Amino acid sequence: MTQFDYDLFVIGGGSGGVRAARIAASDHGAKVAMAEEYRMGGTCVIRGCVPKKLMVFAAGHGAAMDEGAAYGWQVEKGRFDWQAFRHRLDAELNRLESIYTRNAEGAGVTIYHQRATIADPHTVRLADGRRVTAKHILIATGGTPFIPAPYDTLGAWTSNDIFLMDRLPGSMLVLGGGFIACEMAGVLQGLGVQVTQMYRGKQILRGFDQDVQEHVAAAQVALGIHLEVNTDLVSLERLPDGRFRAACTQGRVREFDTVLFATGRRPNTDGLGLEAAGVAVNDGGAVVVDAYSQTNIPSIFAVGDVTDRIQLTPVAIREGHAFADTVFGGTPVAVDHETVASAVFTRPEAGTVGLTEAEARAQGPVEIYMASFRPMQAAFINAETKALFKLVVCAQTRRVLGCHIVAPGAGELIQIAAVAVKMGATKEDFDRTVAVHPTMSEELVLLRKPVR
Ligand code: NDP
């Protein structure tokens, strides 16, 4: 019988990889090693969800001061001190990184703090030259933002650079209309940067429910962001003073202190040795896996963003856990990728679960219930914040197929609504739930008549 150094070698210390390693080691007694070339915690902890959300809080405190003044507080609002925030952010990320490391090591996982590549179906090559064998290899290398050519040599930014900037720029061009572009535009505008968000398509947040798209677009404008849709870059140049000059399809030429490309992410598979090991990837370079996260090479599995299924941390965690239970726990578990809720941390936030109106209509007759209004907290001070609550209901089964919320705290609200939608709740189930008053989300159980 072949003797391997480890039962499992995980490449990548992010959300998916760490969960898989911990569960395999602590719950199923596997001998596990892991390699991480950068920092433990991966995109979510180091340069994604966590620092982004902390910046959302920071921006929110600025707005809260203005609201507080309108409510009667005597407020003296200064400028946002990025250095002070950054100092605290670095400390927090260090804390979280060490928790990730401690938890993995506490579960018995050996961590190699260096790059690892695949040499063959059972062998990993470490950057220091060592070769390590394992019965199973898990690819959990995540994804990375990129700048499309020909703009990739100018020193423009991706989301990775935001958390490392030394000071806030005065003005910024944000390119893209997806999660990252919308969130970053909102956050940076809220911290005092003059943001222009440019999107090539008809409306931002492509793929989201149309009412959500329009509501968020209006909110971006209300924040003071110059939102330009149906507009793309024609040229970008770096000026001698380091600023950028951008020309767009609308014929405008403008200068910005910096440019953020939030134009998508790609899987981290370059130079990983997949070809040598014979692991199949798709056209975008993502590892192809089956429902159990197994690649075409039986000993090699992959979870998280590197597989390009749903690029969300909690999904990667589920996939990592399911992999460990399947391979080491003797219980095959396929992750259910249906009806996964998500939130875009714009200001206000957008939360969504289930089908959009357009997707539901394509399947059959639907009823749409919707309320758009200024929440009490905003109406009192004539603030512009508006909320949207929308239910997409199947006209035949009465099931709520989709729930879409744009409101302060929508990320929190959609988590709860997602339980009902996942359980198959009907509109009548929502209706017989007594409202919690006075709240914004009571609208969800008070929507009486379909709007269409
Ligand atoms: P998205 O795919 O969401 O958005 C990419 C955007 O860039 C789209 O608007 C796209 O336009 C545009 N784009 C792509 N290529 C070009 C180009 N060459 N020129 C101009 N525009 C271009 O990617 P993100 O990077 O924003 O986010 C990646 C994923 O990470 C998300 O899909 C999400 O799953 C996850 N994420 C989740 C978050 C959360 O849960 N809150 C936060 C951040 C990320 P078009 O629509 O026309 O293709």
CA of 178 to the centre of ligand 1 (A): 4
Choose the catalytic residue: 215, 226, 404, 437.
437
Give the CA angle between residues 355, 361, 362 to the nearest 5°: 95
Minimal-distance CA residue to ligand 1 atom 2 = 264
Pairing of strands 32-35, 6-11: parallel
DSSP string, 346-409: -SSEEEEEE--HHHHHHHS-EEEEEEEE--HHHHTTT----EEEEEEEETTT-BEEEEEEEETT
In sequence order, the 6+-apart residues with CB closer than 8 A to the CB of 198 are 173, 174, 175, 228, 231, 232, 233, 248
Give the CA angle between residues 291, 297, 302 to the nearest 5°: 50
Neighbour order of strands in the sheet with 258-261 = 226-228, 194-198, 171-175, 258-261
Q: Please count the helices (runs of H) and the strands (runs of E) in the chain.
A: 13, 21
Question: What are the distances in angstroms from CA 361 to CA 109, 220, 366, 368, 369?
Answer: 49, 28, 6, 10, 14
Cα 195 to Cα 174: distance, rounded to the nearest angstrom: 7
Give the CA angle between residues 4, 5, 6 to the nearest 5°: 90
Element holding 344 (H helix, E strand) = strand 342-344
Q: Are 302 and 287 in contact (CB under 8 A)?
A: yes
Give the ligand 1 atom nearest the CA of 343.
Answer: 41
In sequence order, the 6+-apart residues with CB closer than 8 A to the CB of 408 are 348, 349, 375, 377, 385, 387, 440
Tokens 């150094």 belong to 5
Q: What are the b/e assignments for 383-422, b being 16+ CB within 10 Å? A: bebbbbbbbbbbeeeebbbbbbbbbbbbbebbeebbebbe
pTM for the full predicted model: 0.97
What residue ranges define each of the domains in the chain, with the CATH number in brackets?
6-145+266-328 (3.50.50.60), 159-263 (3.50.50.60), 342-445 (3.30.390.30)
* Other beta carbons within 10 Å of 150: 9
Give the ligand 1 atom nearest the CA of 263.
Answer: 7
The token duo for 327 is 């391979």
pLDDT given at position 437? 98
pLDDT given at position 330? 94
Q: Are 272 and 285 in contact (CB under 8 A)?
A: no
Question: Which residue of 49, 52, 187, 200 sits with most ligand 1 atoms within 8 Å of its CB, as the best mutation to test the pocket?
Answer: 200
Q: Are 13 and 34 in contact (CB under 8 A)?
A: yes
CA of 254 to the centre of ligand 1 (A): 24
Q: How far, rounded to the nearest angstrom, does the alpha carbon of residue 74 sit from its chain's CA centroid? A: 37
Minimal-distance CA residue to ligand 1 atom 7 = 263
Active site residue 87: no
Task: Give the torsion sign (CA, 264, 267, 268, 272).
Answer: negative
Pairing of strands 123-126, 253-256: unpaired
CA of 8 to the centre of ligand 1 (A): 33
Question: Which residue of 263, 305, 342, 345 sits with most ligand 1 atoms within 8 Å of its CB, as the best mutation to test the pocket?
Answer: 263
Give the ligand 1 atom nearest the CA of 201.
Answer: 47
Element holding 277 (H helix, E strand) = helix 274-277
Cα 231 to Cα 68: distance, rounded to the nearest angstrom: 37
CA of 180 to the centre of ligand 1 (A): 6
Task: Give the torsion sign (CA, 337, 199, 262, 197).
Answer: negative
pLDDT given at position 1? 63
CA of 204 to the centre of ligand 1 (A): 10
pLDDT in tens for each of the 452 residues of the chain? 679 999 999 999 999 999 999 999 999 999 999 999 999 999 999 999 999 999 999 999 999 999 999 999 999 999 999 999 999 999 999 999 999 999 999 999 999 999 999 999 999 999 999 999 999 999 999 999 999 999 999 999 999 999 999 999 999 999 999 999 999 999 999 999 999 999 999 999 999 999 999 999 999 999 999 999 999 999 999 999 999 999 999 999 999 999 999 999 999 999 999 999 999 999 999 999 999 999 999 999 999 999 989 999 999 999 999 999 999 999 999 999 999 999 999 999 999 999 999 999 999 999 999 999 999 999 999 998 999 999 999 999 999 999 999 999 999 999 999 999 999 999 999 999 999 999 999 999 999 999 99
Please indicate whether residue 311, judged by its CB atom, sits closer than 6 Å to ligand 1: yes
Phi (first) and psi of residue 142, to 5 degrees: 70, -155
The token duo for 408 is 């302060």
**Bridge partners of residue 144, in order along the sequence:** 266
The token duo for 380 is 């009192």
Question: What are the distances in angstroms from CA 39 to CA 14, 25, 96?
Answer: 9, 21, 10
Minimal-distance CA residue to ligand 1 atom 16 = 263
